[in-house]
Amino acid sequence: MAKKLIRTYDDKKIAGVCGGLGEYFDIDPTIIRLIWVASVLAWGSGLLAYILAWIIVPEKPKPVVSSETATENGM
C-alpha cells in the first residue's frame, strides 16, 4: 500500500500537519515542529506554508465507534 500524506489527529498540536509529516517521513514530529518554527522565525514563509498545508492536506479519518464496540470497551 502506498504511503499517503495526511494530517493526524492523535499527534496534533494545532492542525496535525507536523504529526502527519512525521508519520509520512517516519521521523519524530517534534523535529518537524522545530524546523517549522525556525523557518517561521528566520524567513517568515513557514507560516504561509503551514496554513497552505492545513488547507490542502486531508485529515486522517477518525475510527468509527459503534455501540457494540463502546459497550465491549466499557464506554
6, part of any domain: yes
Contacts of 38 (CB under 8 A, 6+ apart): 46
CB–CB of 13/33 below 8 Å?
A: yes
72, part of any domain: no
52, part of any domain: yes
Q: What does the pLDDT look like over 3-36, one tens digit per residue?
A: 878 788 777 778 888 888 888 888 998 898 898 8
19, part of any domain: yes
Q: How many domains is the chain partitioned into structurally? A: 1
pLDDT at residue 20, as a whole number:
85
Q: Which amino acid is at 5?
A: L
Average pLDDT, the chain: 80
Q: Which region, left, alpha or beta, applies to residue 6 given φ > 0 means left and ψ of -120 to 50 means alpha?
A: beta
Domain that holds residue 19: 1-61
Does residue 41 surpass a pLDDT of 60? Answer: yes
pLDDT at residue 1, as a whole number:
62
